[in-house]
A = this chain, B = another copy of it.
Amino acid sequence: MEYWQKDIETMGREQLQELQLKRLKETVKLAVNSPFYKEVFEKNGLTPDSIQTLDDLQKIPFTTKNDLRTHYPFGMAAIPIQKCVRIHSSSGTTGNPTVVLHSARDLDQWANQVARCMYMVGLRDTDVFQNTSGYGMFTGGLGFQYGAERLGALTVPAAAGNTKRQIKFITDFGTTCLHIIPSYATRLAEVMYEMGIDPRRDTKLHTVCIGAEPHSEEQRKRIEQLLGVKAYNCFGMSEMNGPGVAFECPEQNGLHIWEDYVIPEIINPTTLEPVPEGEIGELVLTTINREAMPLLRYRTRDLTRFIPGECPCGRTHRRLARFVGRSDDMIILKGVNIFPIQIEKILMNFKELGSNYLITIETVGYNDEMLIEVELSDLFTDDYSALERLAKEVTRQLKDELLLTPRVRLVGKGSLPAPEGGKAVRVKDLRKLC
């Protein structure tokens, strides 16, 4: 077993927490130099000295994307702008964009973070790494570029688009690893087969890093099979630098989140309290290895849970489960938090069911009820008693998952509005507000 930074990656919990506390204290001292955190600390009667233990982190209010927007462009900067060397900015299609600032040290540490992830999945300086991300402002471009160069791989900065050219690079340069979004990985494989190129036979590809798009275990398996590779899930977001925040190890069972870079919390997005260990909630991150723009208790809106127990790979940094959606998608019904992805997961288990479904929340008498309509697949019978048995089994499994009993209605293929481009509308909330 080999590590990029063995001492840090396999550090005991106690020592890791000492490191976190040391870095947290430094981070807080820096953060209060920014106009934003200066005000937050003053308003809440806090000073850097208020943070003496890791638990003291809880004293600090959450930071949200909206805080970044309202303090655009430089209100979160903790060091003079002249000491920053890079800006990454979101597109800002609605309202002000969000901006993240980096010092030269920040970029250096980020490159190390990405190199550590790549090394973890077996990549070495002998690999040829092709990055199909957009470059420029999108952090998947420069983030992986710097990380892969740090690793010493031969980088092919292909950037996004032009599938034929991507394939020419893969075959001509002997590309062994791609960074690619999952839907494009499938597309790329399809085009290769159409061109008579079998990626398993005709290329040197052995690894792909997939991210930036939610995807299922089935999709990963399909990508692995089509391309003849191992596919590793990666998590990043521009507010936390970009790629490299958390990454799967060869076990492919959860993403190690680098706890020397961030302190992760998982909270109930309604009560804002920590969820019990192992339960799903919103990921909250505090940067502890960044100087230009520290973020304290940043609400990522991304939903996941900690995977309990030790990882056989020997790394001690905690693992996040596959992300299940965004907290903005959460439905609260009878005091229970429900995410559409939980329902989808159950429905997808039944081969008798198609992939189109609709969740309707409505007020019936004095009660709020959930109705789940789901299309049958092509294959299924119209035998009434078989349908009834199926509906019962689906309901039972949903009840186990959601802890409440939805009404389930099986409908014929094509009965529900078909998803057209972009995001399908899966939830209709028709509750009466009293």
Q: Which residues of A contact B (CB under 8 A)?
A: 72-73, 81-89, 91-92, 101, 104, 107, 125-126, 134-137, 141-142, 145, 148-149, 152-160, 165, 168-169, 172-173
Contacts and interface: CB of A to CB of B under 8 A. Distances in A.
A136 B135 contact: yes
Given A125-B82, A173-B87, A136 B153 contact: no
Contacts of A92: 168
Contact of A154 (B81, B149, B155, B169): B81
Contacts of A87: 154-157, 173
A153 B83 CA distance: 8
B152 A137 contact: no
A86 B157 contact: yes
Most B CB within 10 A of own CB, among A72, A85, A148, A160 = A85
B149 A141 contact: no
Interface of chain A: mostly helix, strand, loop or mixed: mixed
A49 B386 CA distance: 88
Contacts of A152: 85, 104
A209 to B, nearest CB: 17
Given A73-B172, A87-B173, 20 more contacts: A72-B172, A84-B154, A85-B149, A85-B153, A85-B154, A86-B154, A86-B157, A87-B156, A89-B169, A101-B154, A104-B152, A107-B149, A134-B159, A135-B157, A136-B141, A136-B158, A136-B159, A137-B157, A137-B158, A137-B159
A238 to B, nearest CB: 12
Contacts of A156: 87, 89
A85 B137 contact: no
Contacts of A168: 92
20 contacts: A73-B172, A81-B154, A82-B126, A85-B152, A85-B153, A85-B154, A85-B155, A87-B154, A87-B157, A89-B169, A104-B152, A134-B159, A135-B136, A135-B157, A136-B141, A136-B158, A136-B159, A136-B160, A137-B158, A137-B159
